[in-house]
Amino acid sequence: MAKVVLIALGGNAIKQAGEKGTSEEQFRNCSKTAEHIVEIVKNLDREDRLVITHGNGPQVGNLMVQQKLAEEVVPAHPMDVVGAMTQGQIGYMLQQSLENNLKRMNLKVPVCAIINQVLVDKNDPEFFGDKASKPVGNFLTEEEAKELKKKYPDYIIKKVKANGERCWRRVVPSPDPITNLEAEVIKKLVESGVTVIASGGGGIPVIEEGEGNYKGVEAVIDKDLAGERLAEIVGANIFLILTDVEEVKINYGQPNEQGLGKITFEEAQKYFEEGHFLAGSMGPKVKACLRFLANGGERAVIASLDKALEAFRGESGTIIEKA
> Looking at the annotation, which residues are catalytic?
11-12, 134, 223, 285
Distance CA 57, CA 240 (A): 19
Q: How many CB atoms lie within 10 A of CB 321?
A: 16
Strand pairing report for 195-197 and 111-113: parallel
Beta bridge partners of 320: 263, 300
Written as one letter, the residue type at 73 is V
List, as one string, the DSSP characters of 19-37: ----HHHHHHHHHHHHHHH
Contact between 47 and 280 (Cβ < 8 Å): no
Beta bridge partners of 180: 118
Q: 10: helix, coil or strand?
A: coil
